[in-house]
Copies of this chain bind each other. A is one copy, B any other.
Amino acid sequence: MTVITKSLVSNCADCPIRHRAVCARCEADELAQLEEIKYYRSFEAGQTIVWSNDRMDFVASVVSGVATLTQTMEDGRTQMVGLLLPSDFVGRPGRKGAAYDIVATTDLIMCCFRKKPFEKMMMETPHISHRLLEMTLDELDAAREWMLVLGRKTAREKIASLLNIVARRQPAFSPHGAVVFDLPLTREAMADYLGLTLETVSRQMSALRKAGVISLQGNRHVTVPDMARLMEAAGDDSDGGHLI
């Protein structure tokens, strides 16, 4: 299943979340260097952070909130190609521009690093670039996992797969038993991620509710009484055990 992307730096000083460690070595030095080129930005729900093909002069990691990466065809069809949850990294060191629209779907805080100095630091600090390679490989795995969802799963399975991903990223997640969380996406955004229409998303959410796989309080608040049943509905064999 989708891999939880570890964040770039460990315990990023004044970030409100505890980033996971890059590795044990040299932390102090790197953190000091990263501190210098670091700044925070916050965005409101719905705000576009970067437009596709615009120049993007920073890389960043999500501190709180949720953002999406989206591709759009000229005729308006859109496909979401990435979901950025807290601790996820975004940005393409070595590339000038953004490849996709990046949109905040909830209020969002990002911890940004100016690109030029970040790249310089990357050149000088091998293990940062190894860490970045690691993270990019994780993203590639997640993208390919999603290709299976888009290409071969039914509407029902698609919905369950998405709920799975979001549920697993909750701070207090345990692989068996109940999970409760807020969906960070509208029905339309879910549809764009899953290659469906919003009507189909709505119908399948209702179907899962009627089947007792989930229960809903309002539009966004979800309770999953039994993760095993949800995974079954997702057509998912893996137990998520190889998540990092």
Contact = CB atoms under 8 A, between A and B. Distances in A.
A151 B92 CA distance: 24
Given A129-B130, A133-B94, A81 B237 contact: no
Interface stretch (A27-35, A140-148, A167-175, A209-217): A140-148
A152 B195 contact: yes
Contacts of A200: none
A77 B237 CA distance: 13
Interface string A11-36: 00000000000000000000000000
Interface stretch (A43-51, A67-75, A106-114): A67-75
A223 interface: no
A147 B79 contact: yes
Given A92-B137, A144-B143, A235 B130 contact: no
Nearest to A126: B126
A123 interface: yes
Nearest to A136: B136
Given A129-B126, A129-B133, A235-B75, A147 B147 contact: yes
Q: How many copies does the complex hold?
A: 2
A235 B79 CA distance: 14
A147 B192 CA distance: 11
A93 B133 contact: yes
| Residue from A147, A150, A237 with most neighbouring chain B CB atoms (10 Å) | A147
A150 B74 contact: no
A81 B147 contact: yes
A194 interface: yes
A226 interface: no
A151 B149 CA distance: 9
B140 A78 contact: no
Nearest to A195: B151
A230 interface: no
A99 interface: yes
Contacts of A126: 123, 126, 129
20 contacts: A69-B144, A71-B148, A73-B152, A75-B235, A79-B151, A92-B137, A93-B133, A94-B133, A94-B134, A99-B144, A122-B130, A126-B129, A132-B133, A136-B136, A143-B144, A146-B147, A147-B147, A150-B150, A150-B195, A151-B195
